[in-house]
Structure 1
Amino acid sequence: MIILRFRSKDGMFRISADPQADFLLVLEELFNKLKNQDPQLTYISDKPGQKGELANSLCGKSVELLGLKNGDMLYVTGGASASTAASAGGVSVSGNTVSGTVSIANTVDIKKPDELKPSAGSEVDAAYEKSDGLIKRPRSTYCRHGDKGMCEYCSPLPPWDANYRKENSIKHMSFHAHLKELNDAKNNRNNASSYIHPLDEANYKIDLTCTNGHKAYPRGICSKCQPSPITLQLQKFRMVDHVEYSDFHILNKFIDSWRQTGVQRYGVLYGRYEAFDKVPLGIKAVVEAIYEPPQAGEADGITLLPWENQEQIDSVAQLLGMYQVGVVFTDLTDSGNNDGTVLCKRHKDSYFLTNLEILMAARNQAAHPLTTRHSSSGKYSSKFVTSVISGGLKGEIGPRSFQVSASAEALVKAEIMSASTQPSKLLVNSNNDTRYVPDISYLEINEYGLEVKSNAKPAFPVDFLLVSLTDSFPLEPKPFFNSSSSFPIENRDFMGELQNLPQLYLYLNGGAGNGENLCDLHFLGFVAKTGILGPDELQSMLRYVKDRDEGDYLQLVESPGWMTLLTIAEQSS
C-alpha cells in the first residue's frame, strides 16, 4: 500500500492506495471526504496552479500505471454543485461508473460513457449502499409504549441478525448484510478518520518476487512471502441469494435438447441482478435467456469448443441491459420407467456439484469478479452463478443453483487443488517451483455437535467450498424476450436445428409483422453475426427490443440494411 496526498479547498487528505488497484477506488474515497464536490467539474493535477485532468477521466487505470508513487501530492480544483454532490458510490453519472483511459503524464483517447461497459448489478448494489437495511418489526404484546414509541421488542433489527435468520429459515446471510456487519465493526466504531476496507480478497499464492534476505522461491522462503495456513469452513454469506428464470419456457427449451438427443447440454445465462425481498438486502439473478455456445455433448458429459462470437453476444446483451450472470448445464439420465422421470444422482449422500464442476465454477467466478470500493484490491468474489439441471428425489427434472466460496476462488487461482477420482472430494496439490501449499485444514461439526478441525491433505470434501442458492419461476411471468419465439437455437446443427438465412426468412415471414418476432436473443445474435445490418441499423433494432418504441421499429424496417437482409434471405431460400 502507498499513501497519496490530496490538497483541496476543503483541506489536505491522505488516502491509502493499492498500486495495482483502479484509481477509481482512490477517487471514491476522496469524494467521500470532499464537501459537495461535483466529480464532473473536478480537476486533478500533479502540479500546483495547473488545471490538470478531469477526475472522471482518470478512472480505468491502475494507480501504478498513472505513475503515482508513495507520498505524491495531487491538487484538486474545480467547482462544486449541491445538486450534483458525489454519491456514496463516488465518481458516477446516472448510476453508471464512468471510466476512461487518461494518465497524468500522457493523454490518449477517452471512451465516451455510452461506449463503456457498466458493472453488472451496479444499480442494486448502489441502492443497497444507500440503505441501512434494517429489518422492521411490528409492535408486540410485550410493548408498553405509545404508537410513536419504540422498545427492544419492536425496534428494527440489523440485516445480519442471526436470530431473525434462524426464525425465518434463512441459511446464508446476504452479501450486503455481511458487508454492513463488517463495516459496522471496522469503521462505525472506529474513531480514526481513515477508512478501513472491510473486505479483503484471500490470496494463497506465494510471492515469487520476494527477496527479503533470501533467494527467490523455491531456493528460499520466509514468513513474508509464503501464504498463511488455511482453515476452510462453510461460508456464512452468499453473493447471490436466488436465481429466477423469468419464464418456464426458457428452461424447457434448453432441456428439450436432452429430451430429443439424450446428450447433455451447456448454456450461458443472460439476465440482470435485482433486489430479492425474501432475504434482508438480498439479490437475485433474473435469467432472461440461455445462449448455447459451441460444444460437443455426450450422454455423460460436455466438451466446450471455441466460442468465437462471445464478445458480440455480450455486446448485444449489454445494449439490452443484460449481462452474463452464470452458466447452466444438464446432468440427466432417464429412469427407464417410461413416465418422464429421471434418476436422482445429486443429493446429500453423494454430491451436489462434482469436484470438476467446483473447479469450473471457481474459474468462472474468478473471471467475473465483483467490483467494489469496499475491498482494498477493488474486487471481491463474484455474483456469477452455476445451475445444474438434474433429477430430484421424486424423479422430477429441476434446476439447482450454487456458487463456490471466496476461498474456493483463491485456491483455484493459487492452483492448490485439483479433481480426484471421487466426485465428492478435491485433492490438495503438492509444492512445485511456482507453487507453495501451506497447511490446510477444515472445520466440521462432529456427531457430538462439536466443531473439530481436520487435516485437508491429501483430500477434503467439496461441500466446504459450496454455497447453495434457491431457485424459482415467477407466479406471473413477464419475460423480456418473446417466450413463444420459434427461431432456431444456435449450435444445434447436430439435431437438425439450423440457424441460417433461409430459416431467418421463414421466421420473419411467419411472424405477426409487428416487431415481436425480433424479441429473441437467439435471433438477435444471428442477425448481428451476419454483419448485414450497419451499426446504426443494429442499434435501432436493439433499441426497439429494449424499449418497444414503434418509432425505432419503423426506422429499422425502412432502412437499407434491413431491406438488404430480407432480400438476401429470400434469395437464399
Structure 2
Amino acid sequence: SGAAKPPPAERPGQGHWRGMAKVVVRLVTSSGRSRIEVPATATFAEFQAEVHSRTGVEPALQQFALDPKGQRSVSGDPSAQLAQIGIANGAQLHLVNKEATIAAQVLTKVPVPVEPEAAVAKSGAGAAGGQAASSSSGTAPGPAASNGGSSSSAPPPKQTTAIENKDGKKADPKFETFDAFLRNRRYDTAALPGSQRYVSSQLKQGGMIKLPPSVSLKQQPYRHIDTLSVINVPEMENFIGYWQSDLLENGMQRMGWMYGYYLEDKNYDEGCRAVLEGIYEPPQNMIGETAHPSDDDPWMSCVDRIAEALGLERIGWIYTSLLLDDGQLLSPVEIQRIARLQNEHSTDIHFTKYTLSKFVSCAVRPDPALGGLPSLNPFMVSDQCCAMVRDGILAESTDRKHCIVREPVKNELISDFLVEGKPNKKLLTDFFIVRVNDTAPKKHTRMFTHADFPRENRPTQPQSREALKKYFRKLSNSEPLWSRFADFHLILYMAREIDVDTALAIAECIRDRKEIPEGTQMLIKEITR
C-alpha cells in the first residue's frame, strides 16, 4: 500500500472559534485580572457565564462597571449582544463584587479527566534490565549560590525538603509557584525578567551616548511548572530501555518530544503539573555528543494534530546524555538549547499577559548513586536566561561550566551583567537552572492502555504490517476495541499506513472511551488478515 502523504501544517491556536470574529474583554477584579475572549455574536448571558467560570460569581450577582469604584455601571438584557450594551472589543471591565476570585492557572487546553495522584517517590521503573529512578520526590535541589569573579565556583546544590503550610500545601524553600509569587506582588509583571529587553547601544561621534543599564544576575524565585508526572511509565521505560540496550554502548544518544497535558498541582499553592502520556521520537542525528531532531520532519504537524485530537499537546522534550563533570546539573550548551525551546514554546495566554513557557526539559543520565542506572532529571531555565538568549546576549560557549556573555562588535555597548555586584562575563549555569519535581502515580490511570507497538524512526525496530498483526494477536478479544487501539505509536502508524483522518477518528474514540466506527473496524481487519 502507498504511504499516506503528510497533511499540511495547521497554525497553532486554531480552535473552537476558528475564523470567527471575537471580542476581547479585560476583566479586572479585586484579586486579579483575566483576559476573556468570546465570539463577536455572544450575548450578555454567554459573557456572564464565562465570567462565572473564571470568578465563581453567579451571573445574577455580577456587578460590572467601566471604573473601579462602580460608578459607571454596565448592565443589560441577557439576550442582548455585547456591543448593544456598550461592551466593545478591547474594553476594560471591572467586576466590583469583592467575593470574586480569579482562576490563577490558565491552561492551554481543557485537561483530560484523570484521577489526580499524590506525589510519591519512585523506587524505580524497570527499563531493559535496568531501572529509571526519580531524581526528586517532594524535594527540589535548587541552583547553588555563586561567588563573584570571572571563574567563580559554587557549592553543590543542597537537597531541600518541601514543607507544608497551614493549609496543607507544600512550600518549596527554593521556588514559589508562579501565581503565588505574582499574588504577593499584586500581579505586577512589569519588572519580571521576561518583560525586559537587553538592547545594546551604538557609539556615535559627536552625539549623546545612552549607556545600556547594568543587569543583576539573580536566581529565579518562582517556577512555571512544579511537577512532571510520568503517568505512562511503560512509555518512559521503553524510551530509556532502547537507549540502554541499542545506543549507549556505541556512544549514541536519543531524544523525543513529550506529549501530555497540564493540571493544577494540588500539592502546591496554585501549582501546575505537567502530565506525560506519550513520547514521539522524530528522525534525528548525532551532532557532537547530543541527539538533534531533523529540521525537516514532514510528520511533525501530523503528530501534533493527532495529539490534539487526543486532548494532548507538546509539553516538553526528553533527551539522554552521559554524566556531566563535577556533578554539574546542566551544561552551558544544554542551558541555551533549553532556553531556545522555551522561547519557541512560549505564550501570553496567562491572565496578566506575561509571556511565559511551560515547556519542560527532562535529562536522562546515569546516576552514580544508583550504580550507574539512569535517572530522570526534569528542568526548566529561568525567564532571565530565556530573555538573554532571545536578545542574543550569550555567546556559543566553549566553556564547559559557564555561559559566556558575547563580546560587543565595533562601536557597540552591551549591558554589564553583575554577579554579587561585580561585572562578570562568565556566568555559572546554576544561576539559570530551575528544578522541577518528578513523580510517578500509584495507580496507572493513563490514557493509553498499551505501549507495545514499535516506535517511529528506530532502525532496529521498524514499524510494519507484520508488527501490526503481531500487536493485535497478543490482545484479548474481550478487551474493548477502543482500548486495543489505545497505543500512541499505533495511532501514529495508522496515519501513515491508512490516512490521517482515520487516525484522528481513532484518537477521538480513545479520548472519549467510545467504540471504533464499524467502517474503521472492517478496514483494520482487512489490513491485519
TM-score category (smaller protein)? 0.5 to 0.7
- Aligned partner of residue 296 in structure 1, secondary structure: strand
> Which residue identity is paired with 1:503?
A
Q: In structure 1, which of residues 66, 69, 84 is the aligned counterpart of residue 49 of structure 2?
A: 84
| Farther-moved stretch of structure 1 (425-434 vs 163-172) | 163-172
Asked whether the 8 Å contact 1:390–1:398 carries over to 2, the reply is yes
- Which runs of structure 2 are paired with 1:120-135 in the superposition (5 Å)? 120-121=107-108
Mark the CA change 1:356 to 1:435 in structure 2 (over 3 Å): closer, same or farther: farther
- Aligned partner of residue 507 in structure 2, secondary structure: helix
- Which runs of structure 2 are paired with 1:232-243 in the superposition (5 Å)? 232-243=217-228
Asked whether the 8 Å contact 1:425–1:460 carries over to 2, the reply is yes
Q: 1:204, CA displacement in angstroms? A: 3.0
Q: 1:120, CA displacement in angstroms? A: 4.8
Residues 1:267 and 2:256 are matched in the alignment:
yes
RMSD: 3.9
**What is residue 405 of structure 1 aligned with on the other side?**
382
What CA distance in whole angstroms lies between the structure 2 residues aligned with 1:27 and 1:467?
34
Residues 1:362 and 2:362 are matched in the alignment:
no
What CA distance in whole angstroms lies between the structure 2 residues aligned with 1:534 and 1:257?
27
**What is residue 488 of structure 1 aligned with on the other side?**
454
> Which residue identity is paired with 2:386?
E
Q: In structure 2, which of residues 175, 180, 183 is the aligned counterpart of residue 172 of structure 1?
A: 175
What CA distance in whole angstroms lies between the structure 2 residues aligned with 1:265 and 1:218?
46
Q: 1:123, CA displacement in angstroms? A: 5.2
What CA distance in whole angstroms lies between the structure 2 residues aligned with 1:24 and 1:179?
28
Mark the CA change 1:305 to 1:383 in structure 2 (over 3 Å): closer, same or farther: same
- Aligned partner of residue 441 in structure 1, secondary structure: strand
**What is residue 466 of structure 2 aligned with on the other side?**
502
- Which runs of structure 2 are paired with 1:11-30 in the superposition (5 Å)? 27-29=25-27
CA displacement, residues 536-573 of structure 1 (integer Å, 9 cap, x when unaligned): x44431122112113xx1x1xx21x5544554565xxx
Asked whether the 8 Å contact 2:283–2:294 carries over to 1, the reply is yes
Residues 1:283 and 2:281 are matched in the alignment:
no
Q: 1:24, CA displacement in angstroms? A: 7.9
> How many residue pairs align between the two structures?
396
Mark the CA change 1:563 to 1:276 in structure 2 (over 3 Å): closer, same or farther: same
- Which runs of structure 2 are paired with 1:460-539 in the superposition (5 Å)? 460-483=427-450, 485-493=451-459, 496-513=460-477, 514-515=480-481, 516-530=483-497, 532-533=498-499, 535=501, 537-539=502-504
Q: In structure 1, which of residues 184, 194, 201 is the aligned counterpart of residue 194 of structure 2?
A: 201
- Which runs of structure 2 are paired with 1:370-449 in the superposition (5 Å)? 370-375=347-352, 378-394=353-369, 395=371, 396-432=373-409, 437-442=414-419
**What TM-score results when the alignment is normalised by the length of structure 1?**
0.61
Q: 1:80, CA displacement in angstroms? A: 4.8
Asked whether the 8 Å contact 1:204–1:227 carries over to 2, the reply is no
**What is residue 139 of structure 1 aligned with on the other side?**
none
Mark the CA change 1:169 to 1:120 in structure 2 (over 3 Å): closer, same or farther: closer
Greater relative contact order: 1 or 2 (C-alpha under 8 angstroms, separation 6 or more)?
2
Mark the CA change 1:167 to 1:303 in structure 2 (over 3 Å): closer, same or farther: closer
Mark the CA change 1:374 to 1:475 in structure 2 (over 3 Å): closer, same or farther: same
Mark the CA change 1:223 to 1:499 in structure 2 (over 3 Å): closer, same or farther: farther
CA displacement, residues 190-209 of structure 1 (integer Å, 9 cap, x when unaligned): xxxxxx8686733334389x
Q: What are the ranges of 5 or more consecutive residues in structure 2 without an aligned counterpart?
A: 1-20, 31-35, 56-88, 90-105, 112-162
Larger radius of gyration, structure 1 or 2?
Answer: 1
Residues 1:541 and 2:506 are matched in the alignment:
yes
Asked whether the 8 Å contact 1:288–1:480 carries over to 2, the reply is yes
Q: 1:380, CA displacement in angstroms? A: 1.8
**What is residue 92 of structure 2 aligned with on the other side?**
none
- Aligned partner of residue 260 in structure 2, secondary structure: strand
